[in-house]
Each structure stands twice: as C-alpha cells, then as structure tokens.
C-alpha cells in the first residue's frame, strides 16, 4: 500500500493555508511595520481576522486541527505572540478549537479504548511526578510550573493519538512537521543572508550573538524558541520523518518538495552552530539510510568518505565549530584556547551529579536545579564559575543529569521508561507490518529515529522544550493503534467497504 497524505496534490494546501496565512501576516507585522505606525494596527487586525478564520477552520475539520496543532508547537506560536505581539493565552484558545475538532471527529467513528497504545501510561507517570517533587523542593512554585508544562505536553500527546487515526492523517502530520521545519529554517537563512536587516521577523526568526569558535562570535539561528540548541534539536528531530517522505511519496512534485524541506532543515541545523545537533543529525541520517534499506553495510566506507568530504566542504565557521568537540575529550583541559561553553557544561554536569549524590531517590525538586546551583557549584569547583553573568539562570544542559538531580532515580526511571517504550513500540510495529505495509514500516522507523535523536541531543540539552517529542511519541502511539489493515481505512477513520 502507498501512504497518501491527501487525495491529490492541491488538497494538501487546504490544510496549511490557514496557519501559514496567519504566520505570514504576523511576520510582516513584526518585521516591516514600525510599532508607532497606524498601519501596524491595521495589519494586526487583519492578522486577528485571519486567526479567527483559522480557528473556525480548525474547529470544523480534524485534519486542519492536526496541522494547526503541529504548527503551534513547531512555531512556538503561543510564546512568540505573547512575547512579541502582546497576545497572550493563544495556546489555551487554540487548544479549545482543537478539542472541539477532536470531539466532532470522534462522533463520526468508533474508538475502541482497548486499541489505544499503552504508551500513555509512562507518559502520564512522567508528567505527574513533578507534582510530588514539589513537596521536597526549595521553590515548590517552580516544580508546579514544570508539572503544568508537562501536562500541556501530555494533552498534546493524547490529542495526536485521537486525531491520527489513519495513514492519511499520519502523512498530514509528517508533512506539517516538514513544512514547519523548512519554513523556520528558511526564515533563519534569510536572516543570515540579509545581515539581520529584517529584524527578528515577528519573533519567528530570532538569532543569538554567541561564540562560534575561539574569539570569533557571530549570529546563530535560534528560531521561534530563542535558543540555538533547542532550535537545532527541533530540526534534527524533524529530519528522519522528512527523509521518509522521499520514499513513501510517489508524486514527483511531492518528492521534490520533501527534498527541498530536507535540505532547508539540514542547512538550518548547520546555521545554529550547535555541535551536538550537527553530530546527531549526521548519526540519525546514516541510521535512517540503513533503516530504510537504502544502503548496506558494504557502503559504510563510502559513507564515511562522503561524510569526511562534507566536513571539508563545510563553511569555515561551521567546520571550526564542529572541530571544537575534541575539547570535550578528557586530556584537552589545558587547551591553549579553551571553549568556554564546554568548560561551563562540565561545571553544570558536575553540579548535577553533586545534587543527585545528596538526593538520590527523589532529587531536589523539579525545576530546582537553578535554585540549588550556587550551593552545589562550590562543591563541583571549576574556573568556569568565573565565566558569564553571575545572575544568569543556570541549567544542567543534560536532560538525564537534570532529571536525576531534580527528580532522582524515580524521575530518571520514568523518563527512561517513556523513551524506551516509544523506541520499542515503533521498532515492533515496523517489524510487524514491514511485509504487508512497507510505507507504514518506514514511517514507524522514521519516528523511532526521531525519538532517538531527541534522546541523543538530550545529552547536551536540558528538558525545557519537550512538546515536540511528545508529538512524536503521540504519533508512535497512534501508529500502534491502527487497525490490522490500515489500507482499508478512509480519512475519516471509518473502515472502507
């Protein structure tokens, strides 16, 4: 069976137009219209009208709601509109429209609760534990905020499980990820090419002026998230599903669009200058080639040679930035020109270890790493304490060390259970359907690789932007809930005759 996102080429745009129209208007308002100009008010009124129109479309059609949900997360739209345009509460309003669409959709089909993947159990347990950790935290309010954020992510997870009930809906979700990632990368590339002359494009194309290598500082793409590391993680997480589109699409125009999305996304990762994201992107790309059986083991020497050539052809700054990875290897501590960010990461990691050693079972409380940082950094000890602003917030820069420090072995176990369950579920599904439904198997493996990409990038990033991975795990859970013969499912989810 061939997976098809919609019935024809033009129909796909019906689902992207409302979100893209609103995004375009907000970008125009933020980048080309002066704040004191009366025209700004006019443009924002038009944007609000487009948003209301989009909300009605979202509430009326489940497939549109699915696209909007993913665009909302990938574009970090709620934070951008609140911070840059004074329009708070968008997430909750959007959630109402999506819930209405989900409820309407469920009315048209039957859902067997026994068919829903048990992935919701580790997901719910992981999101609820910060509530308990608040009882041990120095600052309980931070733990409660973390819990509220994780509960929002869990709601998104469950909405995806309910909305993605067919191969068509799955493809709609993957295309939404592809278009969102490519659009955000393209905005960032335009930023680099124009020397920031267009501003931050309404908050969707932020950059961070930071160290690239040695004494060289420059602009690093930070996207709508505002942090190059998390933006790079988002793009890397999107790459395997985008690559899968090149295999599951038959229409040449769709293949071309998928290739463009993939190239833009990869360029976006490079321009974040995030070493971890670049390395993980290379790893999951090669893994995907093997997973999709595009290459065999005998091709490994050629792949390694191509990768080496690619590194040589990288722009000087990107190549030099990647080369500083060697400084993280033990024995390079006395480098002539040490990378301050690597030194700081060693300090943050050692501080997390000290917190975990004192509170091994339940940690210091969710979100309380920063609160306890000064006390434990003295124990860790490092010259890196003299770097940067002393009043700046501190984070572990490692999802697993942060989880261990803040929620102890219990939280670490729950996080591991969630990620391992998702990886196992995707792998098992792919093995089960590979002969009958190769397209579904490819999608399952792509989502597995996305989860693995999150796990690997989590080695260098803390857990402050987890909504995207909950979307990916939600797609895995939805796949596992498909009936035995997905090829006989219509887009409404009602078995065809």
Q: Is 423 helix (H, G, I), strand (E, B) or coil?
A: helix
Please state, in angstroms and rounded to a whole number, the distance separating the CA atoms of residues 207 and 191: 8
- Residue whose entry in the numeric block shows the structure tokens 């940690």: 363
Question: Residue 492: which residues within 8 A CB-CB, separation 6 or more?
Answer: 105, 108, 109, 166
Q: Which pLDDT score is estimated for 460?
A: 84
pLDDT computed for residue 382 by the predictor: 53
| pLDDT of the residue at 424 | 94
Rounded distance between C-alpha atoms, residue 61 and residue 39, angstroms = 33
Round to whole Å and give the CA distance between 69 and 161.
12
Measure Cα distances from 364 to 83, 135, 350, 356, 385 in Å: 30, 10, 15, 8, 21
Please tell me what DSSP assigns to residue 460: T
Residues near 76 by Cβ (< 8 Å), separated by ≥ 6?
A: 223, 224, 225
d(Cα 422, Cα 478) in Å, to the nearest integer? 11
Residues of the chain predicted below pLDDT 70: 1-60, 85-89, 111-115, 197-198, 210-217, 294-342, 380-393, 483-497
Q: How far is CA 456 from CA 28, 277, 419, 428, 459, in A?
A: 36, 9, 11, 21, 5
Retrieve residue 487's tokens: 């090829």
**Per residue, what are the HEC states of 234-287?**
HHHHHHHHHHHHHHHCCCHHHHHHHHHHHHHHHHHHHHCCCHHHHHHHHHHHHH
Q: What is the pTM of this model?
A: 0.82
Is the Cβ–Cβ distance between 285 and 331 less than 8 Å?
no
Q: At what angle do helices 467-480 and 120-133 cross, to 10 degrees?
A: 150
Is the distance from CB of 236 to CB of 280 less than 8 angstroms?
A: yes
Rounded CA Rg of the chain: 23
pLDDT for 94 equals 78
pLDDT of amino acid 454:
95
CB count within 10 Å of CB 162 equals: 20
Which pLDDT score, from 0 to 100, does residue 5 have? 39
Say if residues 160 and 69 touch (Cβ distance below 8 Å): yes
Question: And the tokens for 312?
Answer: 């040589």
Cβ atoms of 380 and 351 closer than 8 Å:
yes
What integer pLDDT is reported at residue 314 of this predicted model? 52
- DSSP-based three-state secondary structure for 168: helix
DSSP state of 180: H
For residue 223, which phi and psi values (nearest 5 degrees)?
55, -160
Residue 359 φ then ψ, to 5°: -140, 65
In this prediction, residue 380 carries a pLDDT of 62
Distance CA 379, CA 326 (A): 26
Instruction: Report pLDDT for 489.
Output: 37
**Given the structure tokens 């093995």, which residue do they identify?**
431
């Amino acid at each position: 069976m061939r997976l098809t996102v919609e019935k024809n080429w033009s129909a796909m745009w019906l689902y992207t137009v409302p979100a893209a129209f609103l995004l375009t208007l907000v970008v125009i308002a933020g980048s080309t219209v002066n704040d004191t100009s009366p025209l700004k008010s006019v443009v924002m009124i038009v944007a609000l009208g487009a948003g209301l129109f989009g909300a009605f479309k979202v509430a009326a059609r489940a497939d549109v709601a699915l696209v909007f949900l993913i665009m909302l997360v990938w574009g970090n739209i709620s934070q951008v509109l609140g911070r840059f345009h004074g329009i708070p509460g968008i997430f909750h309003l959007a959630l109402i429209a999506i819930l209405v669409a989900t409820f309407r959709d469920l009315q048209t089909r039957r859902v067997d609760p026994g068919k829903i993947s048990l992935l919701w159990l580790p997901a719910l347990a992981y999101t609820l534990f910060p509530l308990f950790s608040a009882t041990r935290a120095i600052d309980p309010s931070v733990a409660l905020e973390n819990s509220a954020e994780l509960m929002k992510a869990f709601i998104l997870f469950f909405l995806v499980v309910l909305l993605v009930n067919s191969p068509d809906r799955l493809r709609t979700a993957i295309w939404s990820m592809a278009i969102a990632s490519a659009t955000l990368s393209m905005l960032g590339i335009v930023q680099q090419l124009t020397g920031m002359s267009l501003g931050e494009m309404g908050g969707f194309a932020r950059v961070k002026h930071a160290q690239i290598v040695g004494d060289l500082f420059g602009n690093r793409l930070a996207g709508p998230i505002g942090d190059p590391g998390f933006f790079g993680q988002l793009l890397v997480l999107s790459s395997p599903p985008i690559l899968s589109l090149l295999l599951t699409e038959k229409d040449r125009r769709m293949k071309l669009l998928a290739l463009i999305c993939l190239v833009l996304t990869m360029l976006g990762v490079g321009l974040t200058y995030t070493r971890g994201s670049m390395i993980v992107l290379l790893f999951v790309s090669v893994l995907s080639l093997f997973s999709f059986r595009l290459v065999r083991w005998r091709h490994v020497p050629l792949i390694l040679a191509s990768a080496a050539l690619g590194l040589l052809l990288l722009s000087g700054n990107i190549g030099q930035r990647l080369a500083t990875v060697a400084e993280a290897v033990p024995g390079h501590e006395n480098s002539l020109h040490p990378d301050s960010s690597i030194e700081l990461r060693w300090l943050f990691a050692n501080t997390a270890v000290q917190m975990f050693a004192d509170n091994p079972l339940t940690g210091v409380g969710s979100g309380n790493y920063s609160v306890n940082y000064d006390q434990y950094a003295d124990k860790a000890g490092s010259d890196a304490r003299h770097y940067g602003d002393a009043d700046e917030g501190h984070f572990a820069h490692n999802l697993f060390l942060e989880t261990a420090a803040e929620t102890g072995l219990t939280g670490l176990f729950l996080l591991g259970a969630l990620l391992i369950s998702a990886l196992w579920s995707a792998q098992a599904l792919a093995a089960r359907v590979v002969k009958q439904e190769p397209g579904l198997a490819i999608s399952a493996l792509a989502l597995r690789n996305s989860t693995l990409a999150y796990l690997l990038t989590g080695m260098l990033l803390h857990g402050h932007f987890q909504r995207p991975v909950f979307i990916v795990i939600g797609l895995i859970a939805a796949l596992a809930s498909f009936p035995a013969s997905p090829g006989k499912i219509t887009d409404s989810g009602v078995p065809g005759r």
